[in-house]
A and B are shown apart, each in its own frame.
Chain A
């Protein structure tokens, strides 16, 4: 129960941050990606601002055995890159540019995103369902 409460609080603070930073506005995200248009650097401030407390948190985590509620802390990052990381990130970046939404803001804007937001969420979930089949094909291409 306490785990779920803190998960709710973390999700809520994440959503509030996405709202305050303007990252639920697709024009701001596209403005950042559109280097040859009317470039909007806001996203750099958001990412920089977000990395700062998280970098401190990783330092704190390195000095602890477990998280506050007792579960194990995440393992060290996997050093292997692999083709799925590259192919997946390229596909994600394309979709991110096309609509100006990534998964966090897509969920955070559910209440005010209108039909466009709902359609995006439905397509994103469909993509997540299709992903394992796509992964098999990418693996086959990579090993060919």
Chain B
């Protein structure tokens, strides 16, 4: 039975459980919601400078652990990101503006919001999934640029 399930799905589930455990740790020990865009955004626009040390420590772990783990476990890991600078810049701007307007991204609204049945988290997730799906149709299948 297990053998018929693609490996990627199993690793997805295992990694997902790790992500959820990290969010649980941050909530129960530090009393904070683990939202990647909020943790970084609060540093960028100074709204979270009162808790700057904690935010910087979180981001340090988020950057450092994959930096050590990726070469040790997989040798070389690639994000396979687009080679088109215009696409990358447009995407980054949209993600930066959008997550701050919506006050959350996949981790904050998706993982932390849905798990507490937050209407805002569920609505946000529906709309960013919808926009992501439409973007794939338009920019991949119609325009063929991604």
Using CB atoms and an 8 Å cutoff, list the residues of chain A in contact with chain B. 3-28, 30, 33-37, 40-58, 60-61, 64, 66-69, 71-74, 77-81, 84-114, 116-117, 119-132, 134-135, 138
Contact = CB atoms under 8 A, between A and B. Distances in A.
Contacts, number: 494
Contact of A30 (B97, B106, B113, B136): B136
Interface string B12-51: 1111111111111111111111101100110011000000
A13 B102 CA distance: 25
Sorting the interface of chain B by its residue count into under 10, 10 to 19, 20 to 34 or 35 or more gives 35 or more
Interface string B94-108: 111111111101110
A13 B128 contact: no
Nearest to B14: A20
B92 A99 contact: yes
B57 A4 contact: yes
B77 to A, nearest CB: 5
Contact of A45 (B12, B77, B127): B12
A interface, over-half SS: helix
A52 B17 contact: yes
Contact of A123 (B61, B88, B110, B118): B88
B2 to A, nearest CB: 14
B132 to A, nearest CB: 4
Contact of A78 (B94, B120, B130): B120
